[in-house]
Structures are given as structure tokens and as C-alpha cells.
Amino acid sequence: MQSGIVDSYDPREWAKSWELRQSQAHGNGPRPSPMLALGLAAAILTTGALTAWMFHEAPSAAPVRATTAATPAKQTGPGEVRRTLVISRATDLPQLLTAQGIDPALSQQLAASALPALDPAGEVRAVLVLDTSSPKPRFVRLEASNADSSGVVVRRDPAGQITTARVVAQVSEKIFVQHGVMDGDSFYSSAVAVGIPNSLIPVFAKALAFDFDFQREVAAGDAFETAYTQKVNASGEAVGAPTLLYASLTTASKSASVYRFVPPGAQEEWFDASGRSAVRSLMRTPIDGARITSKFGMRYHPTLHYNRLHKGVDFAAPIGTPIYAAADGTVTGATPTGCGGNMVVIQHDKGLQTRYFHASRYAEGLHAGQHVMQGQTVSYVGVTGTCTTGPHLHYETLVNGEHVDPLGIPTDNSGKVLAGPELLAFEAMRDRVDVGRAQQQQ
């Protein structure tokens, strides 16, 4: 993985860095998910550079604490002291107990009783109650809790019998709303300035990627709004990652607002307030960061040397740049051709077919009959075939067998529209978000 690529969280900057990296060799990055594939987020995901960053934990509202911290002992009952300790890993519990003067064998026994209830990777808050009426402190009780306030109480009676009682999490979910205006610097700084968690910034860009070209259409002064949900524990501290529920952007020329909804058995998707999917039937371009070098129409062919109809659009890009399926469909051809080199043909619904030419190679395992998702990499830019002078993608779209201009195909009117029970569930979720927005706008 190339490091240092993402030095900004601004999708506009990602686009720039993507362009800068065009000269660099392209590795076999992870496949972008269909939803991510369009636009700029995908450019970064394809290299894998952002992937690790995206899965960083959201910044927690909890204060940063030392690996092991102890509060001053407090008196509880006669002869009892109560110590609160915080450990960064539950597996450190035996050493912690031993350090508090508990016999190592008993420490192991107590920890073994507590650990099944504790998050092995997360921070644990432990309240230790000891009887100090005799010279050697005697263990009475351990209350250990996870970040979400779930946990366990371990007791030991004077006869040495150990009992455990699980504690259920006390977590509630809150909706947070942020409004902001794009500064002249970056979308990232604009978003962070109003308190949008880092992890949600690329999600916001993704949610609106079908409506906006973040590189060309977003400018200083444009207004945005987000609503996200976050679980919080009994102390009001964030538990787990936030989830973006709503994204809205208003530029000088247009405005779009989308709500997150997960149809039963499906992946999360973004819908406008009426329940129409933000996903378009066809991606604007099946390749990121590429330059259009030849449009659809009559032209003098550079290698054939006569005027003929150019049946597609040419996108110049370095060898190895991923080529995406422009929409969900079935691969009906993945074969070399003479003039067009390595070709991929995908049949979509509504009589639509897309074709991709001159690839250096196919995506691993790509074969005729395979179902592909919108945004899935099907091949990589190359210079194969006799009808090309440099590395580019020649991209064609056909409707019922007739070539049409890929840039002229309407992309905005055939997304999924929710209906029936799905629409009702969506509306309930949308109304919940809108109530949260209205409350926090006062």
C-alpha cells in the first residue's frame, strides 16, 4: 500500500491526489463496493489507502485515560475500601488484581469469572471492593464494565464461593445534527469545524456522489447539513461508531438531501425524502479521474484514417486504472477483439448494454454469465487492439442494440423507488430524523 496518499479528507483533494498518482503503478486494491464506486471516494478506496483510515474508530467523547489509573480508595462499608481502576484491555485484569494485593491464584480465578462478560479488545472500568479490616486485604467484590456499561459483578463469600452476575448495557441512541458552510479550504475542515465525526465525512461524500461532482461543483459558501446517530452509555460517552442518517448539500446551482435506509435484506442506500433512491441507473463515467479525449460522433479516425462514427467516448487514463461496471448487469462478453482489444460487454436491464475496450487485463475471474454490481471493477485500462494509439478506455452504451452517446444517456430517472411496507419503514425513519433536525434547529 502506498502511504501518505491521503493527506486530506477533502474529496476534492482526493481527486487531486488521484490525478497526481496517475503516473504511479496501480496495484490490486480492494474492490470498491458498488455504492462507493462512483466518484472520488472510490478513487482512493481502489488503492486501499483510505480503507484503513475509514475503519478507524470514531473519536469518542470519553476522555483519554492512562492505561491503568486508580482513584483514591473510598470507604464503603465497615472495613471495606472501594477502588476504581481503568484498564485498556480486559486481559490485563489478573495482573491488575494481583497488583492490588490479591493472591495471584485467586486473581486468575476472579479474572476467569469476569472475562466472558468483558469486551476483550476494549477499555474496562473495574471497581474493586476489598475488606481491609485484617492486615491482608480480602477480596469482596469486583464490578467490571465495558464502554457500553455492560459488564459483570464477581463476588466471593467468606467461604470462598465465587458467584457472577451479568450487567446489561445501558445504552441509548441519540441523533446529532450539524449545519455548516464550506470554507475556502476543504470540505474536511468545514465538516470538522461543526463537529462531524471524521469517519462520517467520506460517507457524506458517498451519499451525495450521485448528485454532486465534489471536485467541480462544490465551492466555498455552499451549505451542508448532516444528521447522525450515536449510541451513548449511561455517562453520556460515545459507544461504538456513529452512523450517518442524513446528508444535505446546497450549492449555487442545486440542492440535494438524502436519507439513509436499509431495505430488509439489502445494503444501506440513500433516498430522497419521497423514497426515491439517490443511486442512478448508470454511473456518469465508468472510470475515475480520467480525461475525455474523444466524444461520441463523426470524426477522422487516427489509425483507420477516414471519417467514421465514433461510437463511444474515449477516456485517457494510465494503464492499470480500474474500469467499473456502469450499472448492475450480467457480463455477456469478456474476450479479445481485433480493433478494440480486450473487451467487456455487460447487459443491463431496460435494453441497456455497456461495452468497454482496450483493457490491459480483466478483473480476476471475470467471465461471461457473471453478475456484476454497479461500480465493480471489470477490467483495467490498457492499449490492446489495433485501433488505439495510447492507453485509454473506449466506452460504448447501446439501447436496444443502437449506439447512443454515453454522455447523453439520462442517468437521473430510473433509481429504485420505495413502496409498500418498505416505504412506510423509510418514512418512519425519515420522520425520526426530521424531528431530530427540527429540535436542534431551535
Smallest gap from Cβ 312 to Zn ion, in A, equals 5
Smallest gap from Cβ 309 to Zn ion, in A, equals 11
Quote the cell numbers at residue 156. Answer: 466471593
Quote the cell numbers at residue 248. Answer: 444535505
At 143, the amino acid letter reads: E
Closer Cβ to Zn ion, 45 or 393, answer by number: 393
**Given the rule CB under 5 A, which of 282-290, 298-306, 313-321, 405-413 is the region that contacts Zn ion?**
313-321
H helix count then E strand count, the chain: 9, 25
20-to-6, 17, 38, 285, 292 alpha-carbon distances in Å: 12, 5, 19, 19, 17
Smallest gap from Cβ 256 to Zn ion, in A, equals 32
Binding of residue 355 to Zn ion (CB under 5 A): no
Binding of residue 12 to Zn ion (CB under 5 A): no
Closer Cβ to Zn ion, 178 or 294, answer by number: 294
Closer Cβ to Zn ion, 148 or 314, answer by number: 314
Comparing C-alpha atoms, which of 61, 45, 32, 34 is closest to residue 6? 45
Smallest gap from Cβ 290 to Zn ion, in A, equals 13
**Site size with Zn ion, rule: CB under 5 A:** 2
Smallest gap from Cβ 24 to Zn ion, in A, equals 25
Closer Cβ to Zn ion, 179 or 291, answer by number: 291
Question: For residue 329, what are the contacts with CB-CB under 8 A and spacing of at least 6?
Answer: 346, 347, 348, 349, 352, 354, 371, 372
Binding of residue 314 to Zn ion (CB under 5 A): yes
Contact pattern for Zn ion over residues 356 through 385, marking x by CB under 5 A: ------------------------------
Closer Cβ to Zn ion, 364 or 402, answer by number: 402
Closer Cβ to Zn ion, 142 or 393, answer by number: 393
In whole angstroms, what is the distance from residue 163 CA to residue 155 CA? 5
Smallest gap from Cβ 257 to Zn ion, in A, equals 38
Comparing C-alpha atoms, which of 342, 282, 363, 330 is closest to residue 31? 363
Smallest gap from Cβ 287 to Zn ion, in A, equals 13
Q: Specify which residues 377 forms β-bridges with.
A: 324
Closer Cβ to Zn ion, 67 or 307, answer by number: 307
Query: Which three-class secondary structure string do you get for 392-440?
Result: EEEEEEEECCEEECCCCCCCCCCCCECCHHHHHHHHHHHHHHHHHHHHH
In order, the DSSP letters of 209-248 are TTT--TTTS--TT-EEEEEEEEEE-TTS-EEEEEEEEEEE
* Length, in residues, of the chain: 442
**Given the rule CB under 5 A, which of 119-127, 151-159, 316-324, 386-394 is the region that contacts Zn ion?**
386-394
In whole angstroms, what is the distance from residue 347 CA to residue 408 CA? 19
In whole angstroms, what is the distance from residue 401 CA to residue 243 CA? 43
Binding Zn ion by CB under 5 A: which of 394, 398, 426, 437? 394
In whole angstroms, what is the distance from residue 31 CA to residue 38 CA? 12
**Given the rule CB under 5 A, which of 155-163, 206-214, 307-315, 417-425 is the region that contacts Zn ion?**
307-315
Smallest gap from Cβ 304 to Zn ion, in A, equals 11
Closest residue to bound Zn ion by CB: 394
Closer Cβ to Zn ion, 94 or 385, answer by number: 385
Closer Cβ to Zn ion, 394 or 437, answer by number: 394
Smallest gap from Cβ 396 to Zn ion, in A, equals 8
Interacting residue ranges for Zn ion, rule: CB under 5 A: 314, 394
